[in-house]
Amino acid sequence: MGKSGISVGMMIFLLVLLSASMRKEEVILGKMIYIPEGQFTLGSDDPELRSYFALLGGKAKLQRPVGAARKVHVKGFYIDAHEVTNAQYKKFIDEAHHPPPEYWKDGTFPAGEENYPVHSVSWYDARAYAKWAGNRLPTEEEWEKAARGKDRRAFPWGDQAQGPMAQAWEAAWGKAEGPQPIGKFKSDRSPYGVADMAGNLSEWTASTYEYEGVVTKGRASEETSSGAEIVVKGGNWSFPIAEAKISRKIFHPPDEISNGIGFRCVKDAP
């Protein structure tokens, strides 16, 4: 009886420890969503581009690069359901002794913004966080599949860009001053349930930009120099919603700091 009591007590103790450990992991990594292996269309074809121009008010000039459409096969992976938050990044800088973003004061984020996505971090910062968390940054192909799903939709929610569907310029009728808490815009969800891929913050990827090609093939490495260009995907709070098209991409040097750029992580499926 005594042994049984000790055994039950020990089991309860271990369960408490396991529960605490799981809660800690959730704080660090957040929720991740599985994206199944398969083929999808990366980029846009001519009809999609004409629709895109119409959304921009009939402008004939494309404001930012959009890759040409092609079929791509992607292996299964997990992706963060939301962009990395200030609270998650704070845990990283405390444990890894990494420098905080410049807009933080006294080593911490603005009061009340623990669930806001962290911004003003370089590609090197984002990569360091991902490595610390046991993950990595998504490739352009992985990011786009997570945002688009199996069909050829223009935006995570479908083909229309009407109204404040995401935290973009129109969401505040031209008065947007920064990102909002993660997941605030319920309509900004991909077919897989991944949030904020059209608005809030644009996001660093692991892909390098090819000036002559239409599709990024290179992957940035630890040795990537400040002369390289990294693909950044998704719209953000300062862009018109029409420019939040899934296939749209911009590019920045890896040491770029912007209040419109954040990131999320992925990890390989077993």
Helix 2-29 and helix 86-96, axial crossing angle in degrees, nearest 10: 110
More reliable by pLDDT, 150 or 263: 263
How would residue 71 be classed by pLDDT, with cut points 50, 70 and 90?
A: confident
Task: Give the Cα separation of 81 and 210 in Å (integer).
Answer: 28
Task: Of 65-69, 177-181, 229-233, give the range with the top mean pLDDT.
Answer: 229-233
To which residue do tokens 């040409």 refer? 68
Q: Of 26-30, 46-50, 136-140, 252-256, where does mean pLDDT reach its minimum?
A: 26-30
Residue 132 CB burial class (10 angstroms; 0-12, 13-18, ≥19) = middle
Per-residue pLDDT tens over the stretch 102-123: 999 999 999 999 999 999 999 9
More reliable by pLDDT, 109 or 57: 109
Q: Decide if pLDDT at 161 tops 90.
A: no
Q: According to the CATH classification, is domain 33-268 in 3.90.1580.10? A: yes
Q: Decide if pLDDT at 44 tops 70.
A: no
Task: Give the Cα separation of 203 and 230 in Å (integer).
Answer: 10
Task: Give the Cα separation of 136 and 143 in Å (integer).
Answer: 12
What pLDDT was estimated at residue 49?
Answer: 53
3-state secondary structure of 225: coil
**Chain mean pLDDT for the chain:** 78
What pLDDT was estimated at residue 54?
Answer: 53
Rounded average pLDDT over 205-231? 63
Q: Decide if pLDDT at 251 tops 70.
A: yes
To which residue do tokens 């808490």 refer? 181
Answer for the pair 68, 41: CB distance below 8 angstroms, yes or no. Answer: no
What pLDDT was estimated at residue 160?
Answer: 76
- Residue spans per domain, the chain: 1-30, 33-268
Residues with Cβ within 8 Å of 155's Cβ and at least 6 positions away in sequence, in order, are: 161, 165, 198, 244, 245, 246
Provide the 8-state DSSP code for 255.
T
Angle (CA) 119-125-128 rounded to 5° is: 135
Q: Percentage of the chain surpassing pLDDT 90? A: 46
How would residue 173 be classed by pLDDT, with cut points 50, 70 and 90?
A: very low
Answer for the pair 193, 82: CB distance below 8 angstroms, yes or no. Answer: no
What pLDDT was estimated at residue 7?
Answer: 63
More reliable by pLDDT, 263 or 149: 263
Per-residue pLDDT tens over the stretch 13-26: 555 454 444 433 33
3-state secondary structure of 259: coil
Rounded average pLDDT over 38-61? 59
What pLDDT was estimated at residue 11?
Answer: 58
Q: Decide if pLDDT at 32 tops 50.
A: yes
